[in-house]
Chain A
Amino acid sequence: MKIIVVDDEPVIADTLVNILNGEGYNAISTSDGKSAIEWAIKFEPDVVVTDVVMPGLSGIDTAKAILSQIPKCRIILFSGQAASVDLLAEARSEGYSFEVLAKPVDPDLLMNLISRTQGSGI
């Protein structure tokens, strides 16, 4: 299963990718929304795990752009601040319903979630 992890803090994105790859997933990291979209088109991920509040494109705009290219892609958002609630409400009003995890996310819990992705296989 292919996963893209997006976070503007490289230490977060990199450790998460390290964990996921250790579990047998094929994960890559990017540090902003724009490059995440570019990579998604080439890489065609099954899951995108993205931070919400980032410089440039927000995680939600990034997710929407990726879904328009790869509709079956599963999006998991993780966020550390209350401001993301507003962004999510806005997305919901546009018909998007994203899964959201609050930082800090327990890596076991995240993998448990990912492992339940439909049609998944490592």
Chain B
Amino acid sequence: MVARTTIEDGERKFRDLAETASIALHWVGPDGTILWANQAELEMLGYTPDEYIGHKINEFHVDASVIEDILTRLSAGERLREYEARLRAKDGSLRYVLLDSSVLFEQGKFIHTRCFSRNITERREVEQALRESEERFRALVNASSFVVYRMNRDWSEMRELDGRGFIVDTKQTIKNWIEIYIHPDDQPSVLKNIRHAIETKSVFELEHRVRRVDGTLGWTFSRAVPVLDNEGNIVEWFGAATDVTARVNAQEARLRLAAIVDSSDDAIISKDLNGIVTSWNRQAQRLFGYKEDEMIGRSILTIIPPELHRDEDMILGKIRSGQKIDHFETVRVAKSGERIDVSLSISPVRDDQGNVVGAAKIARDIRENKKIAKALRTTEKLAAAGRLAATVAHEINNPLEAVANLVFLAKRDLPDAEKVAAHLKAVKQELNRVAHITRQTLGFYRDTSSPVRFNVSATLDELLELYQRRLDTRNIRVIKQYDDDAEIFAFAGEIRQAFSNLLANALDAMPSGGMLALRVRKACEWSNAHLPGVRITIADSGGGIAQEHKQDLFQPFFTTKADVGTGLGLWITRGIVEKHGGSIHVRSSCGDNHGTSFSMFLPVGEEQKSEQFQSSRGVDNEVVAGA
């Protein structure tokens, strides 16, 4: 009894051990019926004892062939170790298990199996997820033109990267990917963003520098999404990266340009084809007093004086037809109402298709230049007056010499009244000559404060008279072709100064004789047949202008007559002509048919206008070689 009790007690304890063991355990009879299963097994699969024990084991296996194989091998006396199988839990989910199993035989008779099951579901699921993830990754790689990469769950390893020729490929898992791919300066921000993405299981997104295949630096926009398993844990990361080097470079170039524009000493403004301001740099703000946000969206007419509003039509017209405007001197009005002399350069802005969509305008403050130019003009005027004084002195000295002699003779011949009368008559003639010269001179220097109507050829002839002696002494023949009734409405003194400069140059070009051709013709502007005016040509048969001097002719201080010239004459002349809305051209040849011809066009001008026709035309100083 005692022995039996002891045995029964031992069996009860073993059964309890088996029942409560943490490893799943069951017995299956020779017919495949589950004879017994412990709590761990029931818990693993989620069944109650009734739902499991007494049922056929193959009902719970997912793969029929597997349980068949297991039973066959066990019946044959084989001992199975770590045999993998898939079981169906009560909730329909799969359980991956590793079985250790053998059959209890008694006298050769199959009593029941003894099967231990280790649950490896979690491991298998992760593996499965990875496999599926990898397949998706592969599909993504193949379908995309992006750089694609896979990182492990904490980004400590790069599993692979297909660089698409942009960055180097990684075919096998590496740990030092950050050194290989990421610019040292960008590593901290990349790591920071990775940490954040891992913590929040959210998308990693960053633009950063990478080392390109050729070793140079490039920019990439990289974006990675976490691949999650069923429980929402990160399995790994899929990333895609695009090459944005060109865009970033373009952006940098744009920023650089913007910085240049902003630091420019010139006002830089852009506007659309309706004259609406689209950009306004810092210097524009400084020069005109309007802030950027005050001007953007507003018409450029805001800074154009009312009487010059028609200029804007001309500007927009030129821009629409794709033309540029260079160094157009005009006036603009600041917010304070102050008038500012500016030089404008305006270029059309085109879109990708080449259509003109607006204009870029550079406005330079030329108030200082204007002051200097004014001082220079005064200087040249004084120099011209000096030259004139020398000429006049000579012209007056000759008649005075004659008068001195005649007075001497009159005194000597005093008793002979007839002789004295003849001498005094000659004196009177000489004095008339002097008076004529002084009148001419006065006319030359005195200027009118407003434009007057005057005859062009008569003006030219008056000047010619002043130079008459020089023409004679140098044997210069004068040929005139005049439209005698050609009149213009202009500042007569200035026009005389312009003519005088050209005549003096022509004379200087012919120290030992030649021909001076003067032509005055009623004509129209070359580029504007509707603008009536007068074309004046002053041509000499001198040595011509050397090719290398032609482009500098109209520049201030340019002179080939270092001893006597101020280098301002032609510059002044052009200024005068342009102020009157005209233009001046020069043709010159040093060859066989040598000579120089200055041809200027002066519009007739309108009586009611005074100052405003100074800005109706751009500079037109083309130099044409060859007479």
Which of A's residues lie within 8 Å of B, judged by CB?
8-9, 11-12, 15-16, 18-19, 22, 53-56, 78, 80-83, 102-108
Q: Are B430 and A11 interface neighbours, CB within 8 A?
A: yes
Q: Does B409 contact A (CB under 8 A)?
A: yes
Q: Closest CB of chain A to B143's CB: distance in Å?
A: 92
* B interface, CB within 8 angstroms of A: 390-391, 393-394, 397-398, 400-406, 408-409, 412, 426, 430, 472-475
The interface residues of chain B, by DSSP majority, are classed as helix
- A55-B475, A81-B393, A83-B390 known; 20 other A-B pairs, CB under 8 Å? A11-B402, A15-B402, A15-B408, A19-B405, A22-B409, A53-B394, A54-B473, A55-B472, A56-B475, A80-B398, A80-B401, A81-B390, A81-B394, A82-B390, A82-B393, A82-B394, A104-B400, A104-B403, A105-B401, A105-B404
Are B405 and A103 touching (Cβ within 8 A)? Answer: no
- CA of A83 to CA of B474, assembled, Å: 13
Cα A83 to Cα B564 in complex, Å, equals: 11
In the complex, what residues of A have CB within 8 A of residue B400's CB?
A: 103-104
Smallest Cβ-Cβ distance to A109: which chain B residue: B404
Contact A80 B397 (CB under 8 A): yes
Q: Which residues of A contact B398 (CB under 8 A)?
A: 9, 12, 80, 103
Closest B residue to A108 using CB positions? B408
**CB-based contact A81/B397 at 8 Å:** yes
Q: How far is the CB of A58 from chain B (nearest CB, A)?
A: 9
CA distance A11 to B400 in the complex (A): 11
Complex Cα distance A116/B583, Å? 61
Q: Is the CB of B473 within 8 A of A8?
A: yes
Residue of A whose beta carbon sits closest to that of B407? A107
Q: In the bound complex, do residue A19 and residue B401 qualify as a contact, i.e. CB atoms below 8 Å apart?
A: no
| B110 to A: closest C-beta gap in Å | 144
Contacts of A19 in B (CB 8 A): 405, 408-409, 412
Bound Cα distance from A56 to B473, whole angstroms: 7
A18 to B402, CA, bound (A): 12
Bound Cα distance A22, B409 (Å)? 9
- Contacts A11-B426, A80-B393, A82-B390 given: A107-B473 contact, CB under 8 Å? no
Measured between beta carbons, the chain A residues less than 8 angstroms from B473 are: 8, 53-55
* Contact pick for A9, options B393, B402, B404, CB 8 Å: B402
Question: 24 interchain pairs (CB within 8 A)?
Answer: A9-B402, A11-B426, A12-B398, A12-B405, A18-B409, A19-B405, A19-B412, A22-B412, A53-B473, A55-B472, A56-B475, A80-B393, A80-B394, A81-B391, A81-B393, A82-B390, A82-B394, A103-B398, A103-B401, A104-B403, A104-B404, A106-B404, A107-B405, A108-B408
A53 to B397 Cα, complex, angstroms: 13
Given A19-B408, A19-B409, A108-B408, A12 and B394 contact (CB-CB distance below 8 Å): no
* B415–chain A nearest beta-carbon distance, Å: 13
Interface of A is mostly: loop
Q: Which residues of A contact B406 (CB under 8 A)?
A: 15
Chain B residues contacting A12 (CB-CB under 8 Å) are 398, 401-402, 405
CA distance A11 to B401 in the complex (A): 9
CB distance from B472 to the nearest CB of A (A): 6
What's the Cα separation between A104 and B398 when bound, in Å? 7
Task: Tell me the bound Cα distance from A108 to B404 in angstroms.
Answer: 10
List chain A residues, Cβ under 8 A from B412.
Answer: 19, 22
A84 CB, nearest partner CB in chain B, Å:
9
Chain B residues near A9: list those with CB within 8 A. 398, 402
Chain B residues with CB under 8 Å of A15's CB are 402, 405-406, 408-409, 426
Which residues in B have their C-beta under 8 angstroms from that of A82? 390, 393-394
Q: A39 to nearest B CB, angstroms?
A: 20
Complex CA gap A108/B430 in Å reads: 20
The 9 closest A-B CB pairs, nearest first, are: A80-B397, A15-B405, A81-B394, A104-B400, A104-B401, A103-B397, A107-B408, A103-B401, A80-B394
Chain B residues closer than 8 Å to A81, beta-carbon distance: 390-391, 393-394, 397
B419 to chain A, nearest CB (A): 10
Give bound CA distance, A11 to B390, whole Å.
22
A8 to B473, CA, bound (A): 9
Kindly provide the distance from the CB of B420 to the nearest chain A CB, expressed in whole angstroms.
Answer: 13
- Which of B397, B405, B472, B474 is most buried by chain A, counting CB atoms within 10 A of its CB? B405
Please report the C-alpha to C-alpha distance between residue A55 and residue B412 in the assembled complex, in whole angstroms: 32
Chain B residue contacts of A53, Cβ below 8 A: 394, 473
CA distance A78 to B409 in the complex (A): 19
Closest to B471 in A: A55
* Least CB separation from A23: chain B residue: B412
A17 and B194 CA atoms in complex are apart in Å by 116
CB distance from A50 to the nearest CB of B (A): 13
Decide: A104 and B409 in contact? CB cutoff 8 A.
no
A19-B426 Cα distance, complex, nearest whole Å: 15
Contact A55 B390 (CB under 8 A): no
- CB-CB < 8 A to B405: which residues of A? 12, 15-16, 18-19, 107
A56 to B, closest residue via Cβ: B475
Within the assembled complex, what's the spacing in Å between the Cα atoms of A39 and B402? 23
Question: How far, in angstroms, from A105 to B400 measured CA to CA in the complex?
Answer: 9
Q: How far is the CA of A81 from the CA of B564 in the complex (A)?
A: 15
Collect the chain B residues with CB atoms within 8 Å of residue A56's CB: 475
Query: Chain B nearest CB: distance from A30 CB in Å?
Result: 16
Chain A positions within 8 Å of B430 at CB level: 11
Query: A86's closest neighbor in chain B, by CB?
Result: B563
Minimum CB–CB distance from B311 to chain A (whole Å) comes to: 47
- Give chain B nearest CB distance to A60 CB in angstroms: 13
Q: List A contacts of B404 (CB < 8 A).
A: 104-107
CB nearest neighbor in A for B400: A104
Complex interface: chain A residues within 8 A of B391 (CB): 81
| A19 to B403 alpha-carbon distance, docked (Å) | 13
Shortest C-beta distance, A118 to chain B (Å), equals 25
Nearest Cβ on chain A to B180's Cβ, whole angstroms? 84
Task: Please name the residue on chain A nearest to B404 by beta carbon.
Answer: A104
C-alpha gap A43/B598 in the complex (Å): 49
How many angstroms from the CA of A104 to the CA of B403 in the assembled complex?
9
Q: How far does the alpha carbon of A106 sit from the alpha carbon of B426 in the complex, in Å?
A: 17
